[in-house]
Structure 1
Amino acid sequence: MRAYCILFFLFLGLASKAQKQEVQKSIEIFFEGFHQRDSIKMKTVCADKMVLQSISENSVTGNKLTNESPEEFYKAIASIPVKMKFQEKILSCNIQIDGRMAHVWAPYQFYINDKQSHSGVNAFTLFKDKDSWKIIYLIDTRKK
């Protein structure tokens, strides 16, 4: 009986690790598309009705919550000038999964032309649709 319990928990741990890798792969594809200005690639890991929000922190005007439609978001990504160098460095990635839902907490630093523009946290919520994880909600904070 003890051996069965050990095997059960070993299998459970391996299954959990595999799911986390699948979720992380979706996030990696999202950022590959972002850095390549490739909205088509990004769409492969995003739900059609994805919700996008940002919280900007400003000591003068206060905090501001903004909403963006997926169409506006993809258009903005595709229209980033080719001459502009930008990079979003993900500092860590904490993935939590419950069945067909996953949450990813990912602190970042954003650079434009090798200068840090802002930093914050990306919070992704994903849904496992059939065999793939799709981003259904993305909110980020932005601090100067």
Structure 2
Amino acid sequence: MRKFGATVLLAAVATTTPAYVVAQDDAEAGAVAAVQALFDAMAARDGDAIRDLLTDGAVFTSMVETADGVQVGESTGAQFAASIGQPGPVLLERMWDPHVMVQGPMAVVWTPYDFHVDGQFSHCGIDAVSLVHTDEGWKISSIAYTRERDGCAPSPLGPPGG
């Protein structure tokens, strides 16, 4: 009887553990997909799509190191969406190797990125994106990012369009 009980317990653990892993993997993939959807909306210069991806109080914070110290810029999600939603140059932001942490309805995506304007390299850095899971899916509540023009390693994605 002991052998049967141990077998049932082992079978129960083996069948329940993958469900958690799958759920965690789905949550992580969903958070990354929300960040990619933001980049896609930026490329399309679609302010409405950007607004739909953000919480009402979303905040964007940029950091640039200069000879005078770190310069910090902040804008609301609404300001960002309005700015990007205007006609202008072609924007391309690409991420790779995202590190994702999920706990319940909260996720953080930390990823290197590069940014191109009209096909020309503009800058690189790190995006730290905080997300909240809502009834509508993952929504971005804040993005903090560095902007670096020099010392950027070549992207593992290769040149844009390449």
Residues 42 and 92 in structure 2, CA contact (< 8 A), matched pair in contact too: no
Q: Which runs of 5+ in 1 are unaligned?
A: none
TM-fit CA distance, 1:89: 1.7
Give 1:63 shift: 1.0
Query: Would the aligned equivalents of 1:91 and 1:109 in 2 still touch at CA under 8 Å?
Result: no
2:70 to 53, 63, 79: 63
- Corresponding residue for 2:79? 72
Q: Distance in 1 between matches of 2:38 and 2:136?
A: 17
Amino acid at match of 1:112: V
Q: Which residue matches 1:85?
A: 90
How far apart in 1 are the matches of 2:87 and 2:71? 23
The TM-score, its normalising length taken from structure 1, stands at 0.90
In the superposition, the TM-score normalised over structure 2's length comes to: 0.81
Q: Which residue of 2 aligns with 1:129?
A: 134
Percent of aligned pairs sharing the same letter: 22
C-alpha separation in 2, matches of 1:143 and 1:71: 24
- The 3 A distance-change label for structure 1 pair 125 and 75 is same
Q: How does 1:1-144 map to 2 (within 5 A)?
A: 1-58=9-66, 60-81=67-88, 84-144=89-149
Count of paired positions = 141
Measured after TM superposition, the shift of residue 131 of structure 1 is 4.4
Please tell me whether Structure 1 or Structure 2 has the larger radius of gyration of its CA atoms. Answer: 2
Give the superposition deviation at 1:17: 1.2
Q: Distance in 2 between matches of 1:95 and 1:62?
A: 29
Moved over 4 A (4+): none
- Distance in 2 between the 1:70 and 1:42 partners? 8
Amino acid at match of 1:126: L
